[in-house]
């Protein structure tokens, strides 16, 4: 990732604020009431649901401990990620994504004026993953995305698939807790993810950046899907969350063997803004490299996203028009491969005035 692009200096929106609040910030929630069945009590689960609801409402982010994901599974994928990114650019580029095969390796978005200071590898949870061929609302054709299979490190595909399986289990548990916190049936969201999920994992590597005062590892954004489960680097921090209470950036302190959870745009729409998808970004480090692994929990492509009927009424009417998740998703991703003449699609475009 050699020379810095002058766009880092030209675009003030991409420059980090160098004085974020230094705080642990987001709540840490113990999931043992649902993962340790030998000590589970209804009152403990009720308290857990309340904590989840408060975190979603006040922060849109929280960390979880005692989550049930084996440490060995996480360690294997973290080691595989380090080994993959340690290869030469020539080797990594053999698995570079493109418009035909949108999964695999990438090292910056060359279609924009600004490049994030990182490299990444995307891997779909389901292989193949079915998505619309185009974002034309009148085009019903479907295509399928398949995953590349790097030969190094050994057993790469098996390691990633093992980790994805654990992420899906955790995501379903979290969605049940979120449903209960909204006063819904625990399994209310299951129908959207039980078949043809478009979820995927991303391995991130943020090399040391000598221009840390001018660049971001990842610019401010919200996540388009339902839920994100992040394994943050346990040594080198970098994630910053915009606190809802005062719009200040808060740096998230790494906590060993936890996962950082954030509500995505879909939950914001489903909940009719009872819970909001919150902006976040990644700061680079001038001396140390950083790794992270987010899992993006996404519904089937044919899911129609709209405020849930149970959460709307005359006093709280729907705040969004329905949209098709698959069309929305590939419209967002189109910006990865071509510079668009219009603003990339956001849920705000479906907001009812």
pLDDT digits (tens, 9 = 90+) for 217-268: 888 899 999 999 999 998 898 999 999 999 999 999 989 999 999 999 999 9
The pLDDT, as a whole number, for residue 114 is 46
Yes or no: say if 129 and 144 are a contact pair by the CB < 8 Å rule.
yes
For residues 288-306, average pLDDT: 97
* Residue 2 binned pLDDT confidence (cut-offs 50, 70, 90): very low
Q: Which residues pair with 249 in a beta bridge?
A: 242
Q: How many CB atoms lie within 10 A of CB 100?
A: 8
CA atoms lying within 13 Å on the CB side of residue 349: 11
The pLDDT, as a whole number, for residue 343 is 62
Output the CA torsion sign for 28, 60, 167, 109: negative
Phi-psi region at 257: left, alpha or beta (left = phi > 0; alpha = psi -120 to 50) = left
d(CA 33, CA 35): 6
Q: Counting Cβ atoms within 10 Å, is residue 38 exposed (0-12), middle (13-18) or buried (19+)?
A: exposed
pLDDT for 13 beyond 90 = no
Evaluate whether the domain defined by 7-350 bears CATH number 2.60.120.330. yes
pLDDT for 334 beyond 90 = no
pLDDT by residue (tens digit) across 65-121? 999 999 999 999 999 999 999 999 999 999 999 888 899 999 965 444 446 889 999
pLDDT by residue (tens digit) across 165-203? 999 999 999 999 999 999 999 999 999 999 999 999 999
Yes or no: say if 278 and 59 are a contact pair by the CB < 8 Å rule.
yes
* Residue 25 binned pLDDT confidence (cut-offs 50, 70, 90): confident
């Amino acid at each position: 990732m050699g020379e810095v692009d002058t766009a880092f200096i030209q675009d003030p929106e991409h420059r980090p604020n160098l004085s974020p609040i230094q705080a642990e910030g987001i709540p840490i929630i113990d999931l043992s009431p649902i993962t340790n069945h030998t000590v589970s009590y209804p009152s403990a689960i009720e308290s857990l649901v309340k904590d989840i609801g408060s975190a979603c409402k006040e922060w849109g982010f929280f960390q979880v401990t005692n989550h049930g994901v084996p440490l060995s599974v996480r360690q294997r994928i973290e080691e595989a990620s380090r080994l993959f990114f340690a290869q030469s650019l020539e080797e990594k580029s053999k698995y570079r994504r493109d418009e035909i095969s949108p999964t695999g390796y990438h090292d910056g978005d060359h279609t924009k004026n600004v490049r994030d200071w990182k490299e990444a590898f995307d891997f779909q949870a389901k292989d193949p993953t079915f998505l619309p061929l185009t974002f034309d609302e009148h085009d019903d054709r479907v295509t399928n995305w398949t995953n590349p299979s790097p030969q190094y490190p050994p057993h790469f595909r098996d390691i990633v698939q093992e980790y994805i399986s654990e992420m899906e289990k955790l995501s379903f548990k979290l969605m049940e807790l979120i449903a209960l916190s909204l006063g819904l049936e625990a399994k209310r969201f299951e129908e959207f993810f039980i078949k043809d999920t478009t979820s995927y994992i991303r391995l991130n590597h943020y090399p040391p950046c000598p221009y840390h005062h001018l660049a971001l590892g990842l610019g401010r954004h919200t996540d388009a899907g339902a839920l994100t489960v992040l394994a943050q680097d346990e040594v080198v921090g970098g994630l910053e969350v915009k606190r809802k209470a005062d719009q200040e950036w808060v740096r998230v302190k790494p906590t060993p063997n936890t996962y950082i959870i954030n509500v995505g745009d879909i939950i914001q729409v489903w909940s009719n803004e009872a819970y909001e998808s919150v902006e976040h970004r990644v700061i680079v480090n001038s001396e140390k490299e950083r790794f992270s692994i987010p899992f993006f929990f996404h519904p089937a492509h044919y899911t129609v996203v709209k405020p849930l009927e149970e959460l709307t009424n005359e006093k709280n009417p729907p705040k969004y028009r329905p949209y098709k998740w698959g069309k929305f998703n590939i419209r967002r991703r189109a910006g990865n491969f071509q510079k668009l003449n219009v603003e990339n699609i956001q849920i705000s475009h479906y907001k009812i005035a």
